[in-house]
Structures are given as structure tokens and as C-alpha cells.
Amino acid sequence: MVAIKGGAYIPLYGRDSMKVEIDNFLMDVYPVTNKDYVAFVKKYPKWQKSKVIKLFADASYLRDWKSDTLLGENKKENSPITQVSWFAAKEYCECQGKRLPTVDEWEYVAMANKKMPDARKQKEYNAFILSWYEKPKTFNQTIGSTFKNYWEVYDLHGLVWEWTSDFNSVLITGESRKDVDTDSNLFCGSAAINATDLMNYAAFMRYAIRGSLKAKYTMKNLGFRCVKDDKK
């Protein structure tokens, strides 16, 4: 894990008056891997695919695995674990004495590029993320195959989406154009009139994917990593 120094930032959906304070915390350098997760299900059999409670994971949970404790043939040990539900990810982190990051924590670290803590206005930063959307099957890549950012964290963009503890707190309803209308005054889908940076549409898609999820969903493109409070 690496230390992330907290601070204040304006989320995509915010205005100057909506600065969010982030405390210091520690974050995993890489997403959790297939290998890590095999070890987890061996130690906690209730998360094996044949035993998992249906309420906590949908039918696609660990779908490509050969058996309860064996990866599928095309799966690399060092690729990020995907097809896990929010419940599973949450419990994995807790079993390591950690927790899932909040959306704000995740976005705060993920707005860095190699050199700057907030690179959201940089053209290359956005171009990289957008080009990822057009690359098929990036979930097959191994961890560390993208870039190390300002905080020395890898793979926040370019590998897989990641679960956050409060993934559904910023609501995008199915009808993206209506979201302007909600009382939340948060983020408003396509009609991004109150977003601070119209061009940062890569992030809109991140919020959109979170909005489409339910806690028991699992997806080929969705993994996770853990964080921990900094007790210092």
C-alpha cells in the first residue's frame, strides 16, 4: 500500500462551493489479482462459486473459473480479479483488515497522471482514458501494465472498472437526460450543464457504469482494490 495525502478537491459534478475533503489514507498499489482471490476463496469457502449465497452474487460470479478453487484456462494469475460482486469485494477487503475506497477517495487518486495530483485538464490524461474504452478485453492484461501515477498507484485507468464502497450514492437513473431534474444536485448525465469541465466526459462514463450496477452484479470488466485509513 502507499500513503495518499488527503486534501480538498472538486468532484466532476461539483462547483467551487462543493469541495470535498479527503483524509489521509492508504491505497493498494494494484487491483486485487486472480491469485489473491484464489487464496481468499480457499480460506473463506463461503465465497467459492458453488457456495456463494445468491443474494450476494449473481449467476455470472467467477463464471470463467474451472472449479471453486481453480482459475479458467485463459486466466492469468496476475490479471485483475473480475466477475466479483460488491458484497464479495467488500468482504475480501475486510478480511485483509482493509475496506473498499469511497467514490471520492477513488476519484481523488485517479485524477492524477504520472506527474500531477490533478491532471483532469490535461489532454493526454483524458485521451488515455478514452482510448481505453476503445480497447477490447483489457481485463486480460496483467496488473502494472498501465502507468504508475503521482501517488505511485497503478492501473486506475486502462485495466478494469473498480468497485467503490458507495458506488450508488451518485445516482444516475437509467434515463440519463432526466438526471438534471433530481434534487441531489449532483451529476447530470448527458446534459452536463452543471459539470465543471464539459470535456471530462471520460468521467461521466465512470459515473454511468456505477449507476448501472447493483451490489450483487458481477462483470468481466469490473474488479476492485482496497484502502485503509491512515492512523498516523
Partner 1 sequence: MKLLKAVCILFAGSLLLVNCKSEPKQELAKADSSTIYIKGTMEAELTSPPFVPAPIGNRTAKKLLVNMEILEKEGTMTDGVQYVYWTFGGTVPGSFIRTRVGDEIEFTLSNHPDNKLPHNIDMHAVTGPGGGAESSFVAPGHEKTFSFKALNPGLFVYHCATAPVGMHIANGMYGLILVEPEGGLPKVDKEYYIMQGDFYTKGATDEKGLQPFDMTKAIKEDADYVVFNGKVGALTGDNAITANVGETVRLFVGNGGPNLTSSFHVIGEIFDNVHVEGGDLINTNVQTTSIPAGGAAIVDFKVEVPGTFILVDHAIFRAFNKGALGMLKVSGEENKKLYSGVKQEGIYHPEGGTIQTMPVDKNKKEVAVTTEKPLAKKIVDGKQIYMTTCFACHQAEGQGIPNAFPPLAKSDYLNADVNRAIGIVLHGKTGEITVNGNKYNSVMTRQTLTEGEVADVMTYVYNSWGNNKTNVTIKNVQDVKNN
Residue 209 CB, nearest distance to partner 1 (Å)?
5
Give the residue, chosen from 201, 215, 228, 230, that forms a contact with partner 1 under the rule CB under 8 A.
201
Residue placing its CB nearer to partner 1 in the complex, 141 or 218: 218
Residue with cell 496488473: 143
List of residues 6+ apart from 228 with CB closer than 8 A: 1, 25, 26, 27, 97, 98, 99
List of residues 6+ apart from 172 with CB closer than 8 A: 179, 187, 189, 207, 208, 210, 211, 212
- Work out whether 80 is an interface residue with partner 1 (CB under 8 A): no
Give the residue, chosen from 2, 18, 55, 205, that forms a contact with partner 1 under the rule CB under 8 A.
205
The rounded distance, in Å, linking the Cα atoms of 83 and 72 is 12
The rounded distance, in Å, linking the Cα atoms of 52 and 45 is 8
Residue 137 CB, nearest distance to partner 1 (Å)?
6
- Work out whether 174 is an interface residue with partner 1 (CB under 8 A): yes
Query: CA 212, 214, 216, 221: dihedral to nearest 10 degrees?
Result: 20
Q: Which three cell numbers stand for residue 145?
A: 501494465
Are the C-beta atoms of residues 95 and 101 closer than 8 Å to each other?
Answer: no
What is the sign, positive or negative, of the torsion defined by CA atoms of 114, 118, 120, 122?
A: negative
| x/- letters, 118..157, toward partner 1 (CB under 8 A) | ---------x--xx-xx-xx--------------------
- Work out whether 212 is an interface residue with partner 1 (CB under 8 A): yes
Q: Considering only 5-13, 46-54, 109-117, 216-224, which stretch makes contact with partner 1 by CB under 8 A?
A: 216-224
- Work out whether 171 is an interface residue with partner 1 (CB under 8 A): no
Q: Which three cell numbers stand for residue 206?
A: 465512470
- Work out whether 180 is an interface residue with partner 1 (CB under 8 A): no
Give the number of residues in contact with partner 1, rule: CB under 8 A: 37
- Work out whether 102 is an interface residue with partner 1 (CB under 8 A): no
Identify the three-state secondary structure at position 146: coil
Residue placing its CB nearer to partner 1 in the complex, 58 or 104: 58
Interacting residue ranges for partner 1, rule: CB under 8 A: 58, 60, 127, 130-131, 133-134, 136-137, 161, 172-179, 189-190, 192, 198-199, 201, 204-205, 207-209, 211-213, 217-221
